[in-house]
């Protein structure tokens, strides 16, 4: 369903994302026939990976970690050095380059980068594998922009998927799904780089505060209910 955002995503990525470097865009979709044709620069290619559809958007979100770990083993480990995992209902509006790369990186959530730790929307129920007590936590990371070396991302995605399987067996679903598990993982295994909210922002919801010198990767206006 989100394939409708892909054309703008790719067009803006070609202007701003890793310009001058070899890039493979791996597109996870249940509708490969709807993927638009976009002209890409030299050394840049798109690979469409068919995945199954889920009726609930929460399930799409939670199975993302499973998809990343599966394809990392099958392909990514042999084809690329780094993975940058992002949502597609976004557009690039300024430079995003090799400065983001690290063995493992996360991105500060734009709505909570200035919040107190006790106000982070972590999973607070001890029954969940994603549980973070109120006196713990460094930052609140966004599930829509993380990455690192393929081996590190595989480790993260596999751990998060296994934690979600354990939660499901116990009849619990983390409050923010895969994002809750991402935050638990990054608390236990600190990322080597933390990106500012410049790298993931929503101007419609948050405006453009003076503290943000640039908005590099921004949300595209959309009707969530209509898409879901």
123 is catalytic: no
| 81 annotated ligand binder | no
Q: Which residue in 123, 152, 179, 198 is the catalytic one? A: 179
Strand 104-107, strand 145-149: pairing: antiparallel
> Distance (Å, rounded) from C-alpha 44 to C-alpha 46?
7
Q: Would you say 4 is a known binding-site residue?
A: no
In total, the chain counts a number of residues equal to 228
Q: Is residue 109 marked as binding?
A: yes
Q: Determine if residue 202 is labeled as part of a ligand binding site.
A: yes
Print burial letters for 74-100: b (CB count within 10 Å at least 16), e (below 16). eebbeebebbbbbbbbbbbbeebeeeb
Contacting residues for 8 by C-beta, under 8 A, at least 6 apart: 91, 220
**Is 138 annotated among the ligand-binding residues?**
no
- The pairing of strands 104-107 and 193-195 is parallel
Residue 75 DSSP code: I
Burial class (CB in 10 A: 0-12, 13-18, 19+), 72: buried
Is residue 167 a known part of a binding site? no
Whole-angstrom Cα distance, residue 13 to residue 25? 10
User: 87 a known binding residue?
Assistant: yes
* Residue among 67, 70, 84 nearest 16 (CA): 84
Residues facing residue 53 across a β-bridge: none
Give catalytic residues, as residue numbers. Answer: 179
Q: Which residues are annotated as a binding site?
A: 2, 87-89, 109, 179, 202
């Amino acid at each position: 369903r989100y394939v409708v955002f892909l054309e703008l995503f790719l067009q803006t990525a070609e202007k701003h994302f890793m310009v001058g470097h070899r890039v493979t865009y791996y597109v996870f979709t249940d509708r490969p026939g709807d993927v638009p044709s976009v002209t890409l620069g030299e050394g840049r290619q798109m690979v469409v990976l068919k995945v199954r559809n889920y009726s609930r958007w929460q399930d799409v979100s939670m199975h993302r970690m499973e998809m990343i770990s599966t394809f990392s083993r099958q392909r990514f480990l042999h084809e690329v050095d780094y993975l940058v995992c992002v949502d597609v209902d976004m557009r690039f509006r300024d430079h995003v380059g090799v400065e983001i790369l690290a063995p493992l990186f996360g991105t500060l959530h734009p709505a909570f980068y200035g919040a107190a730790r006790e106000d982070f929307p972590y999973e607070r129920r001890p029954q969940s594998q994603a549980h973070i007590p109120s006196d713990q936590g460094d930052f609140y990371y966004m599930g829509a922009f993380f990455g690192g070396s393929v081996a590190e991302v595989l480790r993260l995605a596999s751990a998060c998927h296994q934690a979600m399987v354990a939660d499901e067996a116990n009849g619990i679903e983390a409050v923010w799904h895969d994002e809750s598990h991402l935050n638990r993982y990054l608390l236990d295994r600190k990322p080597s780089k933390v990106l500012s909210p410049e790298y993931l922002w929503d101007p419609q919801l948050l405006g453009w505060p003076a503290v943000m010198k640039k908005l590099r990767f921004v949300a595209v206006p959309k009707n969530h209910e209509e898409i879901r």
